[in-house]
Amino acid sequence: MNAFTPRPPRGADADALLRAELAELLPPPSVPELTPERNLDLRHAVLRSALAAGDGDPAVRSRRRFPVGLLAVPVAACAVVAGVVVVAPGEGPAGPPGRASTGQPVPSDAVRFLSGAALAAAAAPVPEVRPGEYVYVKSLVAYAGRDAAGGAAVLPPARAREVWLPADGSRPGLLREAGAADTPLGSPGPVYELDGPGAEPRKSTLGAEPPSVTRPTHAYVAALPTEPEALLRLVREQTRGAGGSGGDADQRAFTAIGTLLAETWAPPEVTAALYRAAALIPGVTVLPSATDAAGREGVAVARTAHGEQTQWIFDRTTSAFLGERTVLVESTPAGRAGTVLGVSAVLVKGAASAPGELPKA
């Protein structure tokens, strides 16, 4: 039944009378209502955008501290009244299929995704590793190789890899890979010293290098700064001059952070800071889909340098780190664009009492 519409007073013009009559005859336009699920999606989208926009700038962060109700309600109202469609991050139209495999340079998407991953990581349980124990990491890995005659790189089947790292770095660790002999980690290397010209060489050992981003221990990782800018500065300083990425300091930092995510068991606040530090690196992109060495499909955060793209793969539901992948993005003597040079999958992290022993839980 139509709502009552008052008629204009006597003496009104013909247009006013016509509008009044039409209002009585025609039903009022329907006003669409948001379902509870869509309303929740809109609230989450606005909150994620506000968090991402304020992560790197304290001034922006302070300006965006609005109560949830004041922030989400006007957006929902605008969507209903004006007919505006609000799309949450990750729900927008996909790019051309031919370019999806190498990602699109949209840093804001990377910042949003890594901010969400940081929030999820911050809520994870705290690792329980005692000073005398070892951090145990089990993974699957595969790295492409080329034969002596050259030719394209060939990726072998993934193999199991286990590593035991002493929590405080005071004792040697252990690396165990399927099909290979066990390898001690962190053992002092033998050297020979001369006390003077013509003296008999004297056997000695190299002093152990102190822990660092490139030689991490559990205790060192647990003490890393949790302020993203400070953490990224430290990573850049300690990877300066490291091989593998040429003069690209950003790629060296991205690679080092990926190694820390895969090969250590950091406290939740440190893992969250690593994600936020990675979001500050220029050139980081988001891929809609990637698969780790265990065949688990997820969302990837990636960076490209020197014709190769390094991908971090995340569970698309929990944002948990799954593994890494390295892919050629241009044709080289090692293979055509799209060739996978390396892939890994993190399966288990825990605390073990000794090298070679498995975690109790």
Residue 297 CB coordination number (10 Å): 13
- Work out the angle between the directed axes of helices 36-54 and 68-81 (0-180°, nearest 10): 120
Contact status, residue 279 vs residue 232, Cβ threshold 8 Å: no
Query: Among residues 30, 33, 39, 46, which one has the least CA distance to residue 80?
Result: 33
Tokens for 128?
A: 């329980």
Question: CA–CA separation, 275 vs 277, rounded Å?
Answer: 5
Query: Is 171 exposed, middle or buried, given 0-12, 13-18 or 19+ CB atoms closer than 10 A?
Result: middle
pLDDT at 108: 76
Question: CA–CA separation, 219 vs 224, rounded Å?
Answer: 9
Query: Among residues 106, 61, 121, 134, which one has the least CA distance to residue 274?
Result: 121
pLDDT at 138: 98
Per-residue pLDDT of the chain (361 residues; tens, 9 = 90+): 444 445 555 555 666 666 666 666 665 555 455 555 555 555 555 455 544 444 444 433 333 333 333 333 333 333 333 333 333 333 333 333 333 345 554 457 999 999 999 999 999 999 999 989 999 999 999 999 988 888 899 999 999 999 999 999 889 999 999 999 999 987 655 555 555 565 566 554 445 678 999 999 999 999 999 999 999 999 999 999 765 555 799 999 999 999 999 999 999 999 999 999 999 999 999 999 999 999 999 999 999 999 999 999 999 999 999 999 999 999 999 999 999 999 999 999 999 999 999 998 7
Question: What's the farthest any 2 CA atoms get from each other in the chain?
Answer: 124
- Residue reference for tokens 């152990």: 208
Question: CA–CA separation, 321 vs 344, rounded Å?
Answer: 11
Phi, psi of 38 (to 5 degrees): -70, -35
pTM above 0.75, yes or no: no
